[in-house]
């Protein structure tokens, strides 16, 4: 069978399975998740043996140690997949929630009821644990899912997918509720992206190249984020101790993630008091600073920032630093370079904070807190399937609710339009 | 200046204007809407003179009477545009609404706050009143908007757009909050659809060809509906009097709109009692019936339906009719042919109604009410900017709330991630 007919057939099966998943009870869905956690623990050795095949190929191909690390299903990864599934069991089932209800002048009773999105397509790169995390969340929200993992994790994903199928069937749900594309051809992705009548949303997770490819080629709507160019703005009325603690945490605690700070903006009035000490702390933490001319007056050892630095997502221990003249100046810089991800202001002035919160156009705006709090767990969503930096449907971390839609349900007694 | 640079520059101006629109007060926005209503009424003659130029060209081109009718700005259309704006003034401002608030274990206070989508691109065909209706709703939700009307309504739209600019400037908002693309080149649409960094969402309104073109060529997310293939299912336990009244209303009251019924499904057990009388009523209303073989046993005068009839959106006085064996059979038919728009069941059995409501996968599911109630006004949304038949972001009629997103606002006291 051709790649195209295989993928189209999978999408058709997913569409049918989605009808079953949508009406599955909370108990059934939780049973699948609990059982899957057990199966993964029981089969840890088999899963790791398949993972070893991927790791061997990865080493032969000369993949970087960081890539090898992401690809490895260690005992910790096994435990974290099982634990993650058990956490999702505890989350409230969003399906069926009535978000509003009113009787209209015509006499009809109108409710808005939460429903699954339907069929979700997930395209991701190296981490095989995404196979389990994504399947668990999508299923809990009543969706069917088609998974397309990275080719370097092929054997690992096939092993995990077999565990999922077993859990689904034991509970009496069709195995097609969660399907992994069982081939490595890139063509499969192209076919998947054209199934707008069968798939409701695509969620790509990975590098910017993958996300752009999906966005440019998909007829199915896409939930995505390209990158996180997060800013911390230290206001003239900042508590400078908080400012230094937050800046360091936002840059250093985990520099390789999208909610880490990439640019620090400092109000001119506090630059002289703030920059020398904070700069030293960054230096001790091994951070390379790239400063505007005014920053370099205070920190002569900093490298000179160029125009290329302001939109840059370093994802490492490098930080752009700029002195600004006012909160408006900071907001103008953010408007010009932000990626819609996270911005933070450090200030003790409530009015300035309010202005910043209203005007900064990102999925999360923090006052006196680290940008690193833009995370589904920290913000109270439970687990997250990804993060959206475009405003349609979801803006910020996406949890169970973001994997649903709402429909109108109307009860009448024979009403017609006049 | 080239078409490309003109459109890109408009999008950049819209992006800047969106920052102003987002922080405009409710009073400012309502002032613009009220003033615009007055200006439209005062300038009715000038607007109609420009409209006359479009109508003359349309007649020269031999446009159909229906097209000419849609294009005409009659006194009624003037009154309805002004009245529509005054209705939007009365709607609550969605911007700034706090939809949830909680203090997390880390001590941060997390709120979700409603914000405008940003910049909305609207591409539409002949009706010039859409220029006013869309601008009013988008502005009330704090958005900037770029309008691209049909080339046949060019002069009318330019006249209306001048009224909008005047109202914005009188209230002190930038005229770039609402911009009409001042050229007829089709190339302008292509350029618009590529501005994913500047435009947050595209809303196309018009025929299926336009919608498909936009979906296939847009890098910007699209809110849309292709068509409405709405079903009414008459259950074995239906009140047949209600069933006939609802069926007739759903087909005949306004057959050219997307929430009109296109296929009637009748349970076998009531076919003999229901079809002859209902068929007669349809015949008297001038409706052509296309029936399955079993329907034609009861209504020998009906035409024979073919496979091409079930997915068809007739938009006129034609109706496909099919006998089904059960509610599951009806739901299977709907799953195969529906367009995600509206489905209705007529039944006195609450359990059957509940099953149908849960399983029918459309933006609105009605029990004992006409499909014609799937309308923003009837469902309580106030005005609507269109209807979405895909589930992402909005499913069903889109009102003010659907022209917004939500961001996370976090207040801390110096919290950092551990």
**Whole-complex ipTM:** 0.93
A369 touches chain B (CB under 8 A): yes
Cβ-based contacts of A357 with chain B (< 8 Å): 409
Domain CATH number, residue B209: 3.40.605.10
DSSP A44: H
C-alpha span between A77 and A259 (Å, rounded)? 22
B406 touches chain A (CB under 8 A): yes
Residue A378 has pLDDT above 80, yes or no: yes
* Whole-number percent of chain B with pLDDT over 70: 100
B386 falls within a domain = no
Which pLDDT belongs to residue B202? 96
Residues 6+ apart with CB under 8 A from B21: B116, B139, B142, B143, B144, B173, B177
Per the CB < 8 A criterion, the answer to whether B144 and B177 are in contact is yes
A76 falls within a domain = yes
Assess whether B247 and B319 both reside in one domain. Answer: yes
Assess whether B17 and B103 both reside in one domain. Answer: yes
The token pair that represents B7 in the structure block:
């459109």
Contact B379 A417 (CB under 8 A): no
DSSP A307: T
C-alpha span between B371 and B365 (Å, rounded)? 8
What's the Cα-to-Cα distance from A219 to each of A190, A197, A205, B211, rounded to whole Å?
Answer: 10, 9, 17, 12
C-alpha span between B73 and B116 (Å, rounded)? 30
Instruction: Indicate left, alpha or beta for A210 from its phi (over 0: left) and psi (-120 to 50: alpha).
Output: alpha
The token pair that represents B403 in the structure block:
């022209």
- The tens digit of pLDDT for each residue in B286-302 reads 999 999 999 999 999 99
Rg of chain B, C-alpha, whole Å: 24
Which pLDDT belongs to residue B405? 97
Half-sphere exposure of B213 (CA within 13 A, CB side): 14
C-alpha span between A373 and A223 (Å, rounded)? 21
Compare CB distances from A380 to B104, B219, B362 and report the shortest one's residue. Answer: B104
Which pLDDT belongs to residue A207? 84
Residue A280: how many CB atoms within 10 A of its CB? Answer: 13
Cβ-based contacts of A370 with chain B (< 8 Å): 412, 415-417
Q: What is the mean pLDDT of chain B?
A: 95
Assess whether A207 and A252 both reside in one domain. Answer: no
**B202-239 core/surface letters (b: 16 or more CB in 10 A; e: else):** bbbbbeeebbebbbeebbbbbbbbbbbbbbbbbbbbbb
CA-based nearest distance B181→chain A, Å: 23
Residues 6+ apart with CB under 8 A from A121: A145, A146, A148, A192, A193, A195, A199, A201, A202, A203, A220
B225 pLDDT tier (thresholds 50, 70, 90): confident
Question: Would strands A230-234 and A201-205 be described as parallel, antiparallel, or unpaired?
Answer: unpaired
| Number of domains making up chain B | 2
C-alpha span between A235 and A246 (Å, rounded)? 13
Phi, psi of A197 (to 5 degrees): -85, -15
Element (H, E) at A413: strand A404-415
Assess whether B218 and B242 both reside in one domain. Answer: no
DSSP B208: H
Residues 6+ apart with CB under 8 A from B143: B18, B21, B22, B116, B117, B118, B119, B120, B403
Assess whether A58 and A137 both reside in one domain. Answer: yes
Residue of A208, A416, A418 to mutate, testing the B interface (most B Cβ within 10 Å of its Cβ): A416
The token pair that represents B4 in the structure block:
């490309």
B330 touches chain A (CB under 8 A): no
Instruction: Indicate left, alpha or beta for A107 from its phi (over 0: left) and psi (-120 to 50: alpha).
Output: left
DSSP B20: H
User: Quick check: helix, strand or coil at residue B321?
Assistant: strand
User: Quick check: helix, strand or coil at residue A397?
Assistant: strand
* Whole-number percent of chain A with pLDDT over 90: 90
Assess whether A281 and A406 both reside in one domain. Answer: no
A218 falls within a domain = yes
Comparing alpha-carbon positions, the chain B residue that sits nearest to A254 is B417
Which pLDDT belongs to residue B61? 94
Residue whose pair of structure tokens reads 């911390």 in the numeric block:
A232
C-alpha span between A305 and A327 (Å, rounded)? 21
Which pLDDT belongs to residue A125? 87
Residue A1 has pLDDT above 80, yes or no: no
Cβ-based contacts of A377 with chain B (< 8 Å): none
Per the CB < 8 A criterion, the answer to whether B210 and A401 are in contact is no
Which among B111, B126, B133 is positioned nearest to B156, based on CA atoms? Answer: B126
* Average pLDDT, integer, range A278-285: 97
Sign of CA dihedral B46, B47, B50, B56: negative
C-alpha span between A249 and A237 (Å, rounded)? 20
Q: Tell me the DSSP string of B84-107.
A: HHHHHHHSPP-TT-EEEEEE-TTS
Q: Tell me the DSSP string of B237-298.
A: T--HHHHHHHHHHHHHSSTTSTTSEEEEEEEHHHHHHHHHHHHHHHHHTTPEEEE-HHHHHH
CA-based nearest distance A62→chain B, Å: 34
A417 falls within a domain = no
Assess whether B13 and B45 both reside in one domain. Answer: yes
A384 falls within a domain = no
A396 touches chain B (CB under 8 A): yes
Which pLDDT belongs to residue B208? 84
What's the Cα-to-Cα distance from A350 to each of A238, A330, B116, B202, B407, rounded to whole Å?
Answer: 11, 17, 23, 36, 19
Assess whether A177 and A262 both reside in one domain. Answer: no
DSSP B177: G
The token pair that represents B211 in the structure block:
């919608």
Question: For chain B, give me the number of helices (H) and strands (E)?
Answer: 15, 16
Per the CB < 8 A criterion, the answer to whether A137 and A87 are in contact is no
* Whole-number percent of chain B with pLDDT over 90: 90
Q: Which pTM was predicted?
A: 0.92
Assess whether A179 and A328 both reside in one domain. Answer: no
- The tens digit of pLDDT for each residue in A157-205 reads 999 999 999 999 999 999 999 999 998 888 999 999 999 989 999 999 9
Residue B126 has pLDDT above 80, yes or no: no
B245 touches chain A (CB under 8 A): yes
Contact B414 A19 (CB under 8 A): no
CA-based nearest distance B299→chain A, Å: 25
CA-based nearest distance B372→chain A, Å: 6
Which pLDDT belongs to residue A395? 96
Residue B400 has pLDDT above 90, yes or no: yes
How far, in whole angstroms, is CA B187 from its chain's centroid? 25
Assess whether B215 and B324 both reside in one domain. Answer: no
Residue B181 has pLDDT above 90, yes or no: yes
Assess whether A352 and A400 both reside in one domain. Answer: no
- The tens digit of pLDDT for each residue in A106-148 reads 999 999 999 999 999 999 987 899 999 999 999 999 999 999 9
User: Quick check: helix, strand or coil at residue B178?
Assistant: strand
Which pLDDT belongs to residue B317? 96
Q: What is the mean pLDDT of chain A?
A: 95
C-alpha span between A362 and A416 (Å, rounded)? 44
* Whole-number percent of chain A with pLDDT over 70: 100
A120 falls within a domain = yes
C-alpha span between A132 and A81 (Å, rounded)? 7
Phi, psi of A101 (to 5 degrees): -155, 130
A386 falls within a domain = no
Assess whether B329 and B197 both reside in one domain. Answer: no
Q: Which range marks the domain in which residue B98 is found?
A: 3-224+394-411
**A230-256 core/surface letters (b: 16 or more CB in 10 A; e: else):** bbbbbbbbbbeebbbbbbbbbbbbebe
* Average pLDDT, integer, range B356-385: 94
Interface of A with B in 214-243 (CB under 8 A): 215-216, 219, 221-223, 239, 241-242
Domain CATH number, residue A258: 3.40.309.10
B392 touches chain A (CB under 8 A): yes
Question: Would strands A396-398 and A386-388 be described as parallel, antiparallel, or unpaired?
Answer: antiparallel
A71 falls within a domain = yes
Query: What is the rounded end-to-end Cα distance, in angstroms, of chain A?
Result: 54
Interface of B with A in 16-55 (CB under 8 A): 19, 22-23
Alpha helices (runs of H) in A286-375, residue ranges in sequence order: 293-298, 327-337, 350-359
User: Quick check: helix, strand or coil at residue A369?
Assistant: strand
Which among B99, B186, B195, B188 is positioned nearest to B144, based on CA atoms? Answer: B195
Per the CB < 8 A criterion, the answer to whether B32 and B176 are in contact is no
C-alpha span between A75 and B157 (Å, rounded)? 65
């Amino acid at each position: 069978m051709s790649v195209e007919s295989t993928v189209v057939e999978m999408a058709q099966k997913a569409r049918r399975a989605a009808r079953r998943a949508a009406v599955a009870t909370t108990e059934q869905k939780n049973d699948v998740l609990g059982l899957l956690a057990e199966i993964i623990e029981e089969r840890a050795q088999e899963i790791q043996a398949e993972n070893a095949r991927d790791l061997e190929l990865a080493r032969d191909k000369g993949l970087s140690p960081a890539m090898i690390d992401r690809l490895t299903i260690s005992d910790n990864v096994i435990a974290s997949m099982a634990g993650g599934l058990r956490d999702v069991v505890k989350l409230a089932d969003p399906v069926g929630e009535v978000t509003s209800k009113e009787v209209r002048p015509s006499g009809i009773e109108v409710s808005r009821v939460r429903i699954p999105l339907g069929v979700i397509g997930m395209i991701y790169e190296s981490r095989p644990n995404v196979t389990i995390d994504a399947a668990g969340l999508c299923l809990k929200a009543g969706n069917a899912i088609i998974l397309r993992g990275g080719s370097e994790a092929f054997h690992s994903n096939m092993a995990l997918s077999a565990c999922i199928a077993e859990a689904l069937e034991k509970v009496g749900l069709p195995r097609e509720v969660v399907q992994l594309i069982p081939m490595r051809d890139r063509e499969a992705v192209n076919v998947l992206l054209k199934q707008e009548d069968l798939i409701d949303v695509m969620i790509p997770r990975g590098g910017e190249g993958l996300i752009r490819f999906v966005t440019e080629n998909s007829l199915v709507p896409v939930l995505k984020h390209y990158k996180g160019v997060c800013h911390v703005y230290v206001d003239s009325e900042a508590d400078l101790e908080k400012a230094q603690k937050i800046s360091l945490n936002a840059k250093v605690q985990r520099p390789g993630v999208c909610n880490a700070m990439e640019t620090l903006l400092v109000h001119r009035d506090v630059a002289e008091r703030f920059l020398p000490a904070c700069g030293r702390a960054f230096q001790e933490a091994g951070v390379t600073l790239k400063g505007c001319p005014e920053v370099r007056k205070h920190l002569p050892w900093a490298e000179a920032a160029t125009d290329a630095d302001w939109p840059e997502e370093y994802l490492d221990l490098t930080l752009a630093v700029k002195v600004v003249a006012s909160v408006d100046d900071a907001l103008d810089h953010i408007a010009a370079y932000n990626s819609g991800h996270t911005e933070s202001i450090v200030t003790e002035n409530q009015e300035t904070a309010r202005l910043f919160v209203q005007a900064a156009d990102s999925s999360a705006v923090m006052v006196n807190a680290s940008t690193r709090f833009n995370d589904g767990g920290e913000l109270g969503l439970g687990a997250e399937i990804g993060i959206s930096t475009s405003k349609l449907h979801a803006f910020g971390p996406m949890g169970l609710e973001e994997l649903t839609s709402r429909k109108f349900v109307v009860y009448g007694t024979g009403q017609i339009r006049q």
